[in-house]
Amino acid sequence: MLHGGHLLSVLIFFPIAGSLALLLLRGDDHKFIRVIAMIVSTAEFLFSLLMLRGASIGAAGYQLEENVKWIVAPPINYHLGVDGISMFLVLLTTFLTPISVLASWNSIQLRVKEFFIMLLMLEVGVVGVFLSLDLFLFFVFWEVMLIPMALLIGIWGHERRVYAAVKFVLYTMTGSILMLVGIIWLYNATGTFDLPLIQAALANGLLTNAPQTEMLLFLAFFLAFAIKVPLFPLHTWLPDAHVEAPTAGSVMLAGVLLKLGTYGMIRFCLPLFPEASHRAAGWVALLAIIGIIYGALVSMVQPNLKKLVAYSSVSHLGFVVLGIFAFHNISIQGAVFQMLAHGISTGALFLLVGMLYDRRHTFEISEYGGLSTPMPKLAAFFLFVALSSLGLPMLNGFVGEFLILLGTYQRHWGWASWAALGVILSACYLLWSYQRVFFGQITVEKNRTLPDASWREKGILAAMAIVILWMGIGSVFITRRTETATNTVMEQIAPQRPYEAAAPARGMKQAPTGFASENQAQTTSMERLGTR
């Protein structure tokens, strides 16, 4: 199934090549290194654009697939593929990377080479996660992405960077290890790591898990994703990580890494464990709603600008999770869109905060005030981004939130009504902080002489602003392409499959396709192991 050439492999390995090239460069010629990094990331972005052409709209299933044997026992394949959802998330990643490179142009001055290498490796990990269709491969990339991010935070971060970095890693590992156990368990039940195969097995009723088993598996996966998202009680790593990370780190973290969680939910939790998802939906939604309101309220009272944005992410991602677990095709569409929108607008917010930091080296809101006077352009961009983040129609934030709430309301009007409070609160914290930072008289003398946005910054922000506006008006361009994927998910989680009643309590139905009851599945998989 090697149609579509090796575009996806290129997407994964090109940044690796780039970082190797950087590795060979001399460490002290910073200018040159930055330029190379910029070229590489931009080229990567252009490559990724080719996916739009390569993937045909409305075609079901995965496209541009690549499937090569990798490990013999247990059989693990190097299996890549995109659908509407992953395609745009990859685009988001490849778009944000050059932006981050540009954003750290001057702010990173020590160990420049290593910095950009880490950035590119991070891109590799993330793109790999989005593209891999083999559970094992997925997990590999999932872990690969961990270390570069940790180092980005830990080496180039601010005061408490080490604490934040370690916290980040430990939180993520806690989830991911359990997910590994879950993946293996799933393998034992099916004898394969291949996502499409497992989905097929579920679709035609060959694989049915006992309710309790399924719930355990679901939790194993869900925990990992919930930590990444982060869902309400598991979110405390986020503020620290964000506050301590360098601008580029925060941009990638908020823009892309958080999406890995929600992506995982859509891609794995729902399709693989439909019944469990349905049973858990209520609780998940509860947590999501708590996250929306709680995150917004906490964000509102933060004295630290970056923390404020971080908590706002908790609130926004709550919307996404809610949309996913409302099981309504509109809300899931909205969730996907919201992922992208949040990636752009929150990324932009972090960029702006970073620009303020570059000027004053503090995140304390009290240190600012009246900045509109010295830097009107930055103020204008900030307002624009803030508006998109609080969901003003015709900007990207609105489309996602609106669809999520609309869809959710169709199934559970109560959830939607509670979540909609977030719309009010987001206005509160964003406008309040904006007022405190940019309006009024200048309170701190230093601020009087701050320079307005430089050309580089203007370029970055203009790019973001254009995307924000375009997504807000031309949302159809995206939704048209994600529709089939989300509909597929909807079909996969459609509750009752006919033969369920007849299905045995655990394990799989006897069937010619080689799926055997769980124990036999083990032996079959072992035989597969043994005979290789």
Partner 1 sequence: MIDHLPRAIDIYRTLPELIWCCFGVLAMLLQPFVRSRQFFTALALIGSLAGTLASVFALVNSGPGFYGLIQSDSFSFFFRMLVGTVTFLVVLAAGPYLDRERLPIAEFYALLLFATAGMGVLASAQELLTAFIGLEMSSISSYILAGYRRDALKSSESAMKYFLLGSFATAFFLYGIALVYGATGTTLLDQMANADMTSTLLKLGLALILIGLGFKVAAAPFQVWTPDVYEGAPTPVTALFSAGPKAAAFALLLRIFATVPAATRFWFWAFWVLAALTMFAGNLGALVQTNVKRLLAYSSIAHAGYILVAFAAVTTMSSESNRGAGPAYAAVLFYLLSYALVKLGAFTIVSQLGGAGEKSLSLDDYAGLSQRQPFVAAMLSVYLLSLLGLPVTAGFFGKFYIFKAAVNSHLLWLAILMAINSVIGAYYYLRVIVVMYMREPSAEAAALSPVPFPVGVNLVLLITFAGTILFGVYPNPVINFILRPSLLGH
Partner 2 sequence: MPAYPILEYLWIIPLLPLLGSAINGLLGSKWPNKYATTAAISSTGLSFLCALEAVREFFANGQQLVHKQYFDWIVAGNFRGGFDLQMDQLTVVMVLVVTGVGWLIHIYSVGYMGHEGGYYRFFSYLNLFMFFMLILVLAANYALLFVGWEGVGLSSYLLIGFYFLRKSASDAGKKAFIVNRIGDFGFMLGMFLLFRTFHTLDFRAIFDAAANPAWGHEAWGQFGTFTVACLLLFMGATGKSAQLPLYVWLPDAMEGPTPVSALIHAATMVTAGVYVVARSHILFVHSETAMVVVAVVGCATAFFAATIGLVQTDIKRVLAYSTVSQLGYMFLACGVGAFGAGIFHLMTHAFFKALLFLAAGSVIHAIGGEQDMNKMGGLWKKIPWTFWTMLTATLAIAGIFPLAGFFSKDQILLGAYQISGGKPLYAVGLLTALLTAFYMFRLIFLTFTGKPRFDEHKAHVHESPWSMLGPLVALAILSVIGGWVAAPALFQGRDYFADFLAPIFGTQENAEVLGAASAHTLELTLAFVAVIAAAIGIGVAYWMYLAKPGKADELAKSMKPAYTTLLNKYYVDEFYAAAVVRPLVWLSTNVFWKAADVAGIDGTVNAIAQGATSIGDGVRHSQSGNTRSYAVWVVVGAIVILAVIFFWPSASKTAVGMVR
Question: Which residues contact partner 1 (rule: CB under 8 A)?
Answer: 71-74, 139-141, 143-144, 146-147, 150-151, 154-155, 161-162, 165-166, 169-170, 173-174, 177-178, 180-181, 184-185, 187-188, 522-523, 525-526, 529-530, 532
290 binds, among partner 1, partner 2, none (CB under 5 to 8 A by kind): none
Nearest distance from residue 173's CB to partner 1, in Å? 5
Task: Answer yes or no whether residue 372 interacts with partner 2 by CB under 8 A.
Answer: yes
Nearest distance from residue 527's CB to partner 1, in Å? 8
The count of residues interacting with partner 2 (CB under 8 A) is 54
10 Å CB burial of residue 286 (0-12, 13-18, 19+) is: middle
203 binds, among partner 1, partner 2, none (CB under 5 to 8 A by kind): none
Nearest distance from residue 34's CB to partner 2, in Å? 30
Distant-in-sequence, close-in-space partners of 453: CB < 8 Å, separation ≥ 6: 355, 375, 377, 378, 381, 461
Distant-in-sequence, close-in-space partners of 120: CB < 8 Å, separation ≥ 6: 15, 16, 18, 19, 22, 37, 40, 41, 97
333 binds, among partner 2, partner 1, none (CB under 5 to 8 A by kind): partner 2
According to DSSP, residue 498 is labeled: G
Nearest distance from residue 429's CB to partner 2, in Å? 9
Secondary structure element (H or E) that encloses residue 12, with its range: helix 7-24
What is the C-alpha separation between 479 and 484, in angstroms, rounded?
9
Q: Which of 36, 179, 330, 344 binds partner 2 (CB under 8 A)?
A: 330
Say how many C-beta atoms besides its own lie within 10 A of residue 413's C-beta: 10
Contact present, 406 and 332 (Cβ < 8 Å): no
Number of H helices, E strands in the chain: 22, 2
Helix (H, G, I), strand (E, B) or coil at 80: strand
Task: Answer yes or no whether residue 57 interacts with partner 2 by CB under 8 A.
Answer: no
According to DSSP, residue 532 is labeled: -
Among the listed ranges 69-77, 95-103, 134-142, 478-486, the one in contact with partner 2 (CB under 8 A) is 478-486
Contact present, 295 and 311 (Cβ < 8 Å): yes
Residue among 41 and 479 whose Cβ is closer to partner 2:
479
Alpha carbon 38 to chain centroid distance?
22
161 binds, among partner 2, partner 1, none (CB under 5 to 8 A by kind): partner 1
Task: Answer yes or no whether residue 178 interacts with partner 2 by CB under 8 A.
Answer: no
Contact present, 368 and 308 (Cβ < 8 Å): no
Task: Answer yes or no whether residue 465 interacts with partner 2 by CB under 8 A.
Answer: no
72 binds, among partner 1, partner 2, none (CB under 5 to 8 A by kind): partner 1
- What does 168-226 look like in DSSP terms, one character per residue? HHHHHHHHHHHHHHHHHHHHHHHS--BHHHHHHHHHTTSB---HHHHHHHHHHHHHHHH
Task: Answer yes or no whether residue 150 interacts with partner 2 by CB under 8 A.
Answer: no
Binding to partner 2 in span 196-235, by CB under 8 A: 233, 235
Among the listed ranges 124-132, 291-299, 355-363, 462-470, the one in contact with partner 2 (CB under 8 A) is 291-299
Contact residues: partner 2, CB under 8 A = 233, 235-236, 294, 297-298, 300-302, 328-330, 333-334, 370, 372-373, 376, 387, 392-394, 398-399, 402-403, 405-407, 409-410, 413, 416-417, 420-421, 423-424, 427-428, 431-432, 435, 438-441, 473, 475-476, 479-480, 483, 519
